Amino acid sequence: MSVEIQSGSLQTTFNKTVATVQFGHPASNSFPRQLLDRLTAEINLLSTNTKVSVIVLQSQGTKAFCSGASFDELLQVENEIQGTEFFSGFAHLLNAMRNCSQLIIGRVQGKAVGGGVGIISACDYVLATPESAVKLSELAIGIGPFVIEPAVSRKIGKAAMTEMTLAAHEWKSAEWALENKLFSEIHQADKLDDAVAGFTQKLSSYNPEALLEMKKIIWEGTEHWESLLVERAAITGKLVLSDFSRNALTQFKK
């Protein structure tokens, strides 16, 4: 297997003022740390591009949108420092999305688990399909959605986040996600791309300065996330070393 396949893929394309960022990984579009860092760097770079007014974030293929953290890398964590460093990758990505100058539109074609739900929550508007069920399975593997919790709670509320978290083995339907505001729209899979294109075309025609000011308002009150999410990464980095987590991860991988 090539290094590119092992570490995943990342590609950005441009259509006028809309930038589409697509990530991919053969393991259900999961995120090894290297791919997290690449996506974070790409979001930060696009944030400085004054020719881009809207960003579309999507994943490869027609099945899973994102299955969260790479189980292979989680099993390789040997100490708390490594654990904190790994989960800080999600912290840095969510903060990059929050601080990005452009509105980020999520195109969600399939299921999302754990960190994938966090990424969806950090998008400013999300178009999904009926197949896009979501789950926060972290408690089942001995940890918790600590890093992504602020983003998820901000989007769907503490009560719905709690429901997802405690029902760690339960998939929530796309309709549930729509009702709880994780998704903004649902379209049939064969209509999703047209819906995304139509929405972003309209959005990109608006005053860029107005869009920037709206982005600031949308994310008001989250400035403390710079430190909070990294602190949460330390909690997860410690828990992933537990015997419970090791055994659960091994069973999940099998």
> What's the CATH number where 96 sits?
3.90.226.10
How far apart are alpha carbons 153 and 3 in whole angstroms? Answer: 36
pLDDT digits (tens, 9 = 90+) for 204-251: 999 999 999 999 999 999 999 999 999 999 999 999 999 999 888 888
190 by Cβ neighbours in 10 Å (0-12 / 13-18 / 19+) ranks as exposed
| 227: in domain | no
**Within-domain flag for 229:** no
Segment 73-95, tens digit of pLDDT: 888 899 999 999 999 999 999 99
Q: Does residue 155 belong to any structural domain of this protein?
A: yes
In this structure, are residues 147 and 178 in contact, taking their beta carbons and an 8 Å threshold? Answer: no
Number of domains in the chain: 1
Q: Which helix (H) or strand (E) holds 185?
A: strand 185-186
- Residue 186: in which H helix or E strand, if any? strand 185-186
Global pTM value: 0.95
Domain that holds residue 81: 4-191
| DSSP secondary structure letters along 201-221 | HHHHTS-HHHHHHHHHHHTTT
